Structures are given as structure tokens and as C-alpha cells.
Structure 1
Amino acid sequence: MKSTRIRKRWMLSGVFLLILAATCWVYADQAVTSSYSPVVMKEPFADTVARMKAAKPEVMQRQMELLNERYDLADRPAKEVMMSGGRKAIQEGVRVKLPQGVTWDQLAAMRPDEIKEKNLWPKGFYPLPHPNHAEGGMVFPQFHIDEIKKQEGRDLTRFDLDFDLPDHFLPEFPPPIYLTTRPDLGDVSRGQVVTIMNYFELFNGILNPKQLEGLRLLVTPFPQQQFNQTDDRRSELAGRGVTCFDCHVNGLSNGATHLVGDIRPQEFRHRLDTPPLRGVNVQRLFGSQRALKSVEDFTEFEQRAAYFDGDPVIATKKGVNILERGSQVHFMAEFQNILDFPPAPKLNIYGKLDPAKANESELRGQELFFGKAQCAVCHPAPYYTDGMMHNLKAERFYQPVMINGRMASADGPIKTFPLRGIKDSPPYLHDGRLLTLADTVEFFNMIQELKLTGQEKQDLVNFMAAL
């Protein structure tokens, strides 16, 4: 009897140890895949800087090899199509490289399952990873870093990585600003990047006091995940942070990238192409997953959580800026809501081409847009958005694959962005994977299985450039 009791005790002890081991394994696994960022750093900041600086050349080489494998990155500006500020031409031609041995027409003739089976989905059509996807965070083009350092003495340089896309695939800098309240003024930026140093001089007498205060807040630096004073930042020197207009420069975009804050784990987070703020007054869905229903919600959420990868715990540590909803948020939103689309002299009051002003190719493109190409199903005139979400189900064409730390799988529903002024804000799609308008036409020709001809594709590009 005694030996039996002893054996039972040993068995119970063994079961307990197994449960304890399993529990520890589960908690250890949760620590690896946690929704939260670590709050307490286990490594001295100087060691972090040294380690990540040493790794930077390899990180950037890997990303640039990926871009060169995917795209033709040559600088080939269009001869006659300038962005609305008149200082920069759009890039022309399809830049996504084809799989060896096939043409665009051959691919477009295949069924999605056939392309998937033969692994022929063009690499430039896969989701685009962040320059260092495992790390993530805000990254700015060098021309913007230089301008902010010149105006404010604020340094947006990261010690661990650089921006990846060449400048010629990004919006003109600085972009013009058009206001719904004063269309008679044209570009009110006077060719300057609007910052805390010049906003009052540029806009005093044009905006009302609420709008002026809203603009001040939009160009005021506040702490952000990578740019702050804590020991887990990614700027070498402690800094005041970033502004809304560091990404949405002059209410448009400079191509700055980030990762969306509301997806976990890290490898499934989408790279974020900074969308323009022009025309937000006609939009009703905001945030990377479009869970926010007003620009006021978006403005408040950006400051409270999106700046910190959607983690309010980290936000508290780094110095979250809690905006007052009834005044500050409203003031910021009021200014954003008067940012207008650029002039489109070929469009009539219904947002369609005036036959007396448009050329034959643009008119054919318009007919295709509203007809065979079915673009207007999601992008109706006059603003060329339906304000909704749509799932393109691009995963029909490829097997999930890990690409530089990004799990390329299903994108899920994405927002229909306005196409008014679309030539001003390359690159395209929600993660910036399409570098030119010609790339977007090829992408949607395959996604929608349209089987457009070469001339039809060019006509669509010409039409969009006129919007």
C-alpha cells in the first residue's frame, strides 16, 4: 500500500512538472509573440546603437537587392506630364519586372490558379516589405531629413536604416498646397516646406484662428516610437519627435514609410505608403484598417497610439501627446478638411473630361475607365472614390511566402483612395509596391482579369494623369 501511494505521488509530481513545463513554454512563447513591445530595455543604449549601426549595411543591401530584383529603377521621366507644382515629371513606363520567359499579355491570358501553380506572379506585385521589416518604424527620405534639419535643427536620421525607394519615384518636394476656401490663391505654400518656423508667416490672414491653431499643431513635433527621448528610440540623439507634416508634408506626402499599427505579429504588418491629406473632406474611412470614421477620430488616434505602433503602453513611456477633443482635435481636423485636390483644367464640373480640352487618348481612357476596365466601380467621379473598402484577393495568384521579414499573404480589404490628382502621389497601392501609373494598370489588368490591349493600357494611364 505504501509503495502504491509513493508511486501515485511520483506520478502526480510528474504530471505537475509536465503542466508547469508546458505553462512555462506557453508563457515563453507568448513573450516571443506578444502583442506588446518590451517596456524595459535589457541592453545599454550605446550598445544598441553600435550593434544596429554595424548591421545597417547588410540590412540596406538586402533591401536594395530586393528592389533591383523586382523593379527597373532607372530615372525615366515622362516628357510631357508634370506633377501639379510643375517642378517634377512623373516616371513613365512599367517598372515591375516580368518572370523570365513570359510577356504581360501571356500572363493576362492565364487563370489565377495557373499563375499560382507555375509561380509566375511578378515579384513587384507581391506586398512590399519595410526597409527592415523586423524592426519597422517611421523612415524619411533624405531630402526631407535635410530640409527639417535646415529649418528646425531637428534630426530625423535613423542610425539603423535609411529610406529605400529612389527619389525620382516620390512626390515633388515641396508639393503645392491648395485650399477649398481660397481656390483663387493657387499654391499657398509659396514653394516652401511648411514647418513650425514659417507656418504663421505663410498662413496668417488666409486661415481663421481655429485653422491656424490646427496647422500649428500639425507642424509641432511630438514624441513618436522611433523619435523621442527614451532608450529604445532609433535616433542617435534624444529629440522632440515628429510632426504630422513630416510624413504628410504640405498636406500631401513625401513617400515616408512605416508599418501599420493594428496588425500582429510583426511579419504580417503591412508597409504603409503615406497617403495624401488632400480631399479628406470627401472621405469617411481612416486608419490603416479603416476603423476610424472621421478625420477627427484619425487625428486623435494618430497621437494616442499610431505614433507608437498601436501600443498605448509604450505611448505612456515615451510621452504621448493627449489632444483635447473639443478644441485641438477639431482645430487640426478643420485645417485638414480644407486641403483641396490640385486643379484639373481638363475636367468639367462633374469630374469628367471636357471633350474640347482633352486629347483622343485621354478620352479613350475615360471610356475604358467607366466601361471595360471597370475602374469606376470603386472609383466613381467626381472624386474617383466610393469611400469604401474592397478585397482584391491578390492571394489567388500566389502561395504565401516570406520576403525580407514580411509574410506575403492575403492583404484583406483595402481602402479606395481618391484618384483625383493621383499623378502627384507616387508610389501606389496601400504599401507603395507599384512605382508608376503604368504599373498600377498592369496590376489591375491581372487582378480584374480584364485582358486590356497595349493601347488601352496607355490610354488609361493618360486619363489618370489628367485627373
Structure 2
Amino acid sequence: SMSRGKPVQEGVRVKLPQGVTWENLASMTPDEIKEKNLWPKGFLPLPHPNHGEGGMVFPKFVIDEINRQEARDLTRFDLDFDLPDHFLPEFPAPIYLTTRPDLGDVSQGKLVTINNYYELFNGILNPKQLEGLRLLVTPFPQQQFNQTEDRRSERPSRGVACFDCHANGHTDAATHLVGDIRPQEFRHRIDTPSLRGVNVQRLFGSQRALKSVEDFTEFEQRAAYFDGDPVIATKKGVNVLERGSQVHFMAEFQALLGFPPAPKLNIYGKLDPAKATKEELRGQDLFFGKAQCGVCHPAPYYTDNLMHDLKAERFYKPQMVNGRMASSDGPIKTFTLRGIKDSPPYLHDGRLLTLEDTVEFFNLIQGLKLADQEKRDLAAFLRAL
């Protein structure tokens, strides 16, 4: 289960083309799979719920809780979120602070909002960090949620807060389209990444490669909130944050967001043989050996802080899928795998619903030819991280 007890979905959910097994696919070259059109549809880039329109879309449980606490409605009149709740992270997610590991989860099981952040955190944060958190839970105008007539909420909206997507400093799997690609059909869907462990990360944005969490915090509301268009940002209400007394405070709080406890890992980020199962230990050997996961995801934090291009387009012909042109994605940031069981779905666009789907995907992408037991071992290790 996840850190607060939500069941982790298991098993391969991607459907294979008729008459084909995973072993068949693993024995073929990328060109063969491409020519015979056998790449599983679930492994193609995932389109936005309405790719031509795009924009922020929130799961219903997020909309309901923010509406209950703040009377701020993040419902879109034109779109609903598309993935079932059981494939999403637990909500509200636990919060672990690097400065107070003795406290465990400090969320008290609540979604942190502008209404309760002070009572929850006063006394465990300093005044600067508390002010940073206030800004992270304060809504500001955004492309779909604003006070102009060009919006997707029924009534004029105060906007969106950082923690509406990064709920409790983690993720609620809210989706959007990246702002940095044109034309529209080439824009990538985003699965909101967790902010846990940003203190050890040095690249931000799946492809924009911003170099610090301060940069990301400062620039996000200048244009990314508005589809990468600074003119529209000016029209709808851009939020210009001051670097020294606002951005720095927000970033300092974000840097306190720790990974969830992983009781089977030692101080080097590897399994303690006295605590791990045989399956998990075999999975670790595969991870750093035959499967080569550790090349891009080295211990202890399981990221190399670089970007890599998987070249998945080797396996399929360019094709339009619900308004999304499935072709080459290009280099994408290596996300950390610590606490990975807490943040489904997987890959930058959320196309992979389970860790088992992810293992099957990379088995083909990397040409690993893993046996069934090896796949199970690898998934078991990932759940222990």
C-alpha cells in the first residue's frame, strides 16, 4: 500500500494487440514492431482529455475538497478528469519534513489550504517558511481559471494555487499540457510530479531544464500558467514574485518536503538484506545489473539529474491519437524513483498506470528480454523504494 494505506494497483493493465504475447514482442526488433503495427496502444503518448483545448484539469476529489474548504470551484464546464481514482495518488497525501523527521506525517490527514496552513504548521516552521507555504496555497489567475471572460470555470475564479496540483507538496495527478511546444498536437500531457525530494534535484520542468526550484517557482506564473504566452498572462493577471522575499521563502518550504519513509533501505539508499525479501533483493540486483535502470536512476535518490531520450518512436509510426500527434518525445528529465509507489501513474504523461506496466514498457524500450520472474522481482524492488 501507499504511505497512508491506499492500495497500490498491481499487474499489467496495458492491452496487447490480438494474438501477441509480451514474449513475442520482446523477441522482435523495434523495426519489426513498427512495421507490423504491434506497439501496444497504451504505450503511445497519452493525450489530454481534450487535446485541442488543453489546460488544467483536476480530479473530482480535489475539486470537492477545495470547494468545501475555500468555496473556490475548480470544475471546468467543458471537461472532466479522465483517469479512475484508484490509479491516482492517495489524497490528501502525507507530508514529511526533512527538518522534523521525528514527527512523521505532519498533515494530520488534511489537505493543506489557505484556510488551515497556519494552524497545521505554526510551531514547526519558522516565520519565513510559513510565509512561503502561505504563497504556495494562495490562488493566482491562470489560463482556465481567472476573472476575465476567457476562462473555463462557470463563474469568475480567483485562480489556481501551486498546491492545487502539488497537493500537500506531493501530487494529486492533476493534468495539463506543457507550454513549451507548438503546434498544439505536439504538446505533451503532464502528469503533475511530486515535490518530495526537490532538495536533491537540479533540473525542473520535464524539458525546459530550469536549473533551480527558485527559477521554476518564479517563472511558472509568468507564462506556464498561461500556455507559455506572456501576453495572455498580462491580460488575465500575472503574479510577479519578488526573488528575495517571496520566491526564496516558497523555495525554502519546498526544499523541506522529504521523501516518504522507506524502512527497508539503508543509509546508502540500498536494501538492508536483513529487512528485504528475496524477491526485492533479486529485483535490486536486476535494477543495478541486467535491467540497467541504475544507469539513469542511481542510488540513493534514484535520479541522475539529467535528461534522456528513450526514442520510443522507434517502435511506432507517427499517428494522431485523440488530437495528440504521437511521434518523438525528445529528451525528458530523469525523475526520482524514491517513494515511487506513492505517485502513480507513471512516465512524464501518465500513460503507464502501474509499476508492472512500467517494467513491461522499459523491457521493450531497452531490449532487456526479462523473464516473468525477473519482471516481478523488479516491480517488488520498486515498491520498496
Q: Tell me the residue number matched to 1:217.
A: 135
The Cα of 1:291 is off from its aligned counterpart by 2.6
Q: Does 1:85 align with 2:1?
A: no
Shift of 1:290: 3.2
> What residue number does 1:337 align with?
255
- Pairing 1:246–2:126 present: no
Shift of 1:287: 1.6
Choose which of 445, 458, 461 in structure 1 pairs with 2:363.
Answer: 445
Q: Which residue of 2 aligns with 1:154?
A: 72
The residue number in structure 2 matching 1:455 is 373
- Cα separation, 1, equivalents of 2:298 and 2:81: 34
Give matches, 1:218-237, under 5 Å.
218-237=136-155
| 1:136 aligned residue | 54
User: Is residue 2:214 matched to residue 1:296?
Assistant: yes
Q: What secondary structure is seen at the aligned counterpart in 2 of 1:438?
A: helix
Q: Is the 8 A contact 1:308 1:315 kept in 2?
A: yes
Q: How does 1:8-157 map to 2 (within 5 A)?
A: 82-86=1-5, 88-157=6-75
Would you say 1:365 and 2:283 are equivalent positions?
yes
Please name the residue that 1:280 is paired with. Answer: 198
Distance 1:216 1:131 in 2: 31
Which residues of 2 match residues 167-186 of structure 1 at below 5 A? 167-186=85-104
Per-residue CA deviation, residues 237-274 of structure 1 (Å, 9 max, x unaligned), is 00100100000000110110000010011000000000
1:294-330 Cα offsets, whole Å, 9 max, x none, are 0000001111111111110000000011000111000
Aligned to 2:319: 401
CA contact 2:97–2:256 (8 Å) conserved in 1: yes
Instruction: Give, in whole Å, the separation in 2 of the partners of 1:95 and 1:211.
Output: 41
Partner of residue 258 from structure 1, selected from 176, 179, 187: 176
How many Å apart are 1:102 and its aligned residue? 0.4
Structure 1 stretch displaced more, 370-379 or 299-308: 299-308
Secondary structure (helix, strand or coil) at the match of 2:238 reads coil
Question: 1:461 Cα deviation (Å)?
Answer: 0.4
| Structure of larger gyration radius | 1
Equivalent pair of 2:141/2:159 in contact (CA under 8 Å): yes
Residue type of the partner of 2:327?
S
1:305 to 208, 223, 228: 223
Q: Secondary structure at the match of 1:89?
A: coil
Residue segments in structure 1 that go unaligned for 5+ positions in a row: 1-81
Aligned mate of 1:430, from 324, 333, 348 = 348
Q: 1-side partners of 2:230 and 2:244: how far apart?
A: 21
Is contact 1:262–1:288 with CA below 8 Å preserved after alignment?
no
Residue of structure 2 in register with 1:62 after alignment: none
* Cα distance in 1 for residues equivalent to 2:157 and 2:186: 30
Deviation at 1:288, TM superposition (A): 3.1
2:288 and 2:208 map into 1 onto residues whose CA distance is 26
Q: Give the SS at the match of 1:304.
A: coil
**How much does 1:160 deviate?**
0.3
Give 2:243's aligned residue. Answer: 325
Task: Note if contact 1:261-1:288 (Cα within 8 Å) is conserved in structure 2.
Answer: no
CA deviations over 1:104-155 (Å, ceiling 9, x no partner): 0110110000000000000000000000000000000000000000000000
Instruction: Tell me the CA shift for residue 289 of structure 1.
Output: 1.4
Gaps of 5+ in 2: none
Q: Matched residues in 2 for 1:165 and 1:374: separation? A: 30
AA matched with 1:425: S
Residue of structure 2 in register with 1:267 after alignment: 185
Asked which structure has the greater RCO (Cα within 8 Å, sep 6+), the reply is 2
SS at match of 1:90: coil
Q: Is the 8 A contact 1:230 1:238 kept in 2?
A: yes
Which residue, out of 335, 338, 351, partners 2:269? Answer: 351
Q: Give the alignment's TM-score, normalised by structure 2.
A: 1.00
Tell me the secondary structure at the aligned position of residue 168 of structure 2.
Answer: helix
CA-based RMSD: 0.5
C-alpha distance in 2 between matches for 1:356 and 1:98 = 39
Q: Residues 180 and 208 of structure 2 are in contact (CA less than 8 Å); yes or no, is this contact kept in structure 1?
A: no
CA distance in structure 1 between the aligned counterparts of 2:227 and 2:41, rounded to whole angstroms = 28
What whole-Å deviation, never above 9, does each CA across 1:422-450 have from its counterpart, x for those lacking one?
A: 00000000000000000000000000000
Cα offsets for 1:190-235 (capped at 9, x unmatched): 0000000000000000001110000000000100000001111000
**Equivalent residues of 1:390, 1:413 under 8 A apart:** yes
Secondary structure of the 1:151 match is helix
Secondary structure in 2 matching 1:258: strand
Could you tell me whether the CA contact under 8 Å between 2:205 and 2:333 is conserved in 1? no
In 1, distance between residues paired with 2:276 and 2:113? 37
Corresponding residue number in structure 1 for 2:328: 410
Amino acid at match of 2:201: Q
Q: What is the alpha-carbon distance in structure 2 between the residues aligned to residue 325 and residue 312 of structure 1? A: 19
Q: Establish whether residue 374 from structure 1 lines up as the match of residue 292 from structure 2.
A: yes
What is aligned with 2:107?
189
The aligned amino acid for 2:283 is G
Aligned length: 385
* Separation in 1, partners of 2:3, 2:356: 19
Q: Does 1:392 align with 2:310?
A: yes
- Between the two proteins, what is the percent identity of the paired residues? 84
Question: Does 1:199 find its partner at 2:151?
Answer: no
CA distance in 2, matches of 1:104, 1:215: 46
Larger helix share, 1 or 2 = 1
